[in-house]
């Protein structure tokens, strides 16, 4: 099921049944300072997407949607 949360001034959508997606959410929400995570949102808005990995090399993609929201996806290694 698609969930939506508000993170650092942006609406972020994610699939709650996707294995490991919470690691990406926690990384953006708790591990990074707000100014650091905003860099990924700005890059996704400018380029359509921004790829990043957490401290355990789990890989994620932040995509910009045409409705002004963002979608977080987990990538396989």
**What digits encode the pLDDT tens for the residues 17-76?**
878 999 999 999 999 999 999 999 999 999 999 999 999 999 999 999 999 999 999 998
Q: What residues contact residue 50 under an 8 Å CB cut-off, 6+ apart?
A: 40, 41, 43, 44, 61, 62
Q: How many domains does the chain have?
A: 1
Which structural domain range is residue 52 located in? 2-75
From CA 54, how far away is CA 32, in angstroms rounded?
10
pTM (2 decimals)? Answer: 0.92
Residue 77 pLDDT class (50, 70, 90 cuts): low
């Amino acid at each position: 099921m698609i969930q939506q949360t508000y993170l650092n001034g942006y609406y972020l959508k994610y699939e709650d049944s996707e294995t490991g997606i919470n690691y990406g959410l926690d990384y953006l929400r708790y591990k990074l300072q707000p100014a650091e995570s905003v860099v990924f949102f700005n890059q996704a808005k400018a380029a359509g997407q921004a790829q990043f990995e957490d401290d355990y090399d789990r890989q994620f993609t932040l995509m910009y949607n045409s409705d002004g929201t963002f979608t977080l996806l987990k990538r396989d290694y």
